[in-house]
Amino acid sequence: MARLDGKVAIVTGGVKGIGLATAKAFVQEGAKVVITDVDERNSAAALTEIGQDNAIFVKQNVADEAQWEPVFEAAEKAFGPVNVLMNNAGILSFNNAEEVTEDSWHKVLAVDLDGVMYGVKHAIAHMKDNGGSIINLSSIAGLIGISNLFAYNAAKGGVRMLNKSAALYCAEQHYPIRVNSIHPGYIHTPMVDAYPEMRQQLEALHPVGRLGEASEVANMAVYLASDESSFSTGAEFVVDGGYTAQ
């Protein structure tokens, strides 16, 4: 039996990168998947890669709370009650503590932190009776400081602590919901690969001497989505090639 047989999952930012790899891995393990993204243009190709019979696409801006309930409604209509939410959608902006602008600060936090908060809030409402797993994509930037990722550090650090608060709340309420975060290092994704001039420098930051693959983060997400992780909640799962061990 596949590890996610009978599961219904929502993966935000699912058209490319870690989100696409996760959606593919979920389907390979038996789940039905709803991918969401602002990138509607590339959604058809993503669905073909994932498997048309096992996935649908819903256009969504995660930073707009009004767009969350329609995603759950679409998932339930197509496949049934949602068991898994992977809060993956995110954006990156280089800025520092002296030169950050109000616009760039709020833009990053709106997607990378507010979007996760909305997802957690609405997932709890839909999962509290039947149970489920909420997986929040943070980053090594949620664990350590990086001087030119000021807003991103704030957002991913916020995800780390939001995750723990939500996990404790669900446990205290006796909701059968687990809430965990994944903290990748630098991964081969369109977000990172958009800066080829930094490739060698980024590889050198990891003791294993390379960037991670999106599939390696997806493997961790499969574990957290599955019943194998039934005693894990409020925890941080690091996938970083040894970066934060230094």
Other C-beta atoms within 10 Å of 199: how many?
14
Nearest residue to 10 (alpha-carbon basis) of 28, 32, 30: 32
Alpha carbons 107 and 146: distance in angstroms, whole number:
18
Per the annotation, the verdict on 195 as an active-site residue is no
Could you give the CA distance from residue 118 to residue 66 in angstroms, rounded to a whole number? 9
Instruction: Centre a 10 Å sphere on the Cβ of residue 45 and count the other Cβ atoms it contains.
Output: 12
List 118, 152, 186, 243, catalytic entry: 152
CA distance 244 to 203: 14
CB 94 within 8 A of CB 143: no
Catalytic residue numbers, as ranges: 152
